[in-house]
Amino acid sequence: MNAKVKISEQIVPFYSAADVISAYSLALDTTTQIQTLIDRIRKNVVFLISTYKNEVRVNTFDELESLISIARYLSDDFSNTFDVQCEKHQNIVVECDAGDLLEVYSLAHEVHSWLSSTIYEMKVELSAIKKSSTALCDAVFASVENLINIADYLSDNHRNMFKIECEKFEAEWEASKND
């Protein structure tokens, strides 16, 4: 007589530390991309200030410079956090679950939401500067405006990508708690 043995499939997928490292690395890379653009935006603004200091009021760029500083601080802080977490998980050999990845993607989503908001405010502030600077034509602002638009696009794109991953792992995490 042949006996049939039914082997149940694993319902809850497990992940490795490598998956968590990969998620933190992605968060680090995307934050570093935005950081690079913020640095270029800062250089362009400094150039505008030094080149056209006689044509604009002294404090015209103050708020934009503050927003750039805030964005740079946020990107620095979270780049360091993501980097530390990558290193921390390098020597860990344990199984991880959807909750671990949810944590990474939730943080990355929050970071890019903040960066996206800050960059959008830079865009608004630059528009206000352009309108108030009657002595300068729009072409003077083209380079910094393009960089802000690129940073805005990328930060929105990264935020949306992390939101999708976050929702995916949140659903998986919730399903695993019900089993």
Give pLDDT, residue 15.
84
Q: Does 166 reside within a domain?
A: yes
Give pLDDT, residue 95.
78
Q: What average pLDDT does this structure show over 110-125?
A: 97
Q: Does 1 reside within a domain?
A: no
Q: Does 6 reside within a domain?
A: no
Q: Does 7 reside within a domain?
A: no
Q: Does 10 reside within a domain?
A: no
Q: Does 172 reside within a domain?
A: yes
In the chain, how many domains are there?
1
DSSP string, the chain: -PPP-PPPPP-S--EEHHHHHHHHHHHHHHHHHHHHHHHHHHHHHHHHHHHSTTTS-TTTTHHHHHHHHHHHHHHHHHHHHHHHHHHHHHT---EE-HHHHHHHHHHHHHHHHHHHHHHHHHHHHHHHHHHH-TTS-GGGGHHHHHHHHHHHHHHHHHHHHHHHHHHHHHHHHHHHHH-
Q: Does 3 reside within a domain?
A: no
> Above 50 in pLDDT, residue 166?
yes
Which residue range forms the structural domain that includes residue 101? 15-53+60-178
Give pLDDT, residue 145.
96
- Other C-beta atoms closer than 10 Å to the C-beta of 41 total 26
pLDDT digits (tens, 9 = 90+) for 47-80: 999 988 888 887 889 999 999 999 999 999 999 9
Q: Does 116 reside within a domain?
A: yes
User: For the chain, what percent of residues have pLDDT higher than 90?
Assistant: 65
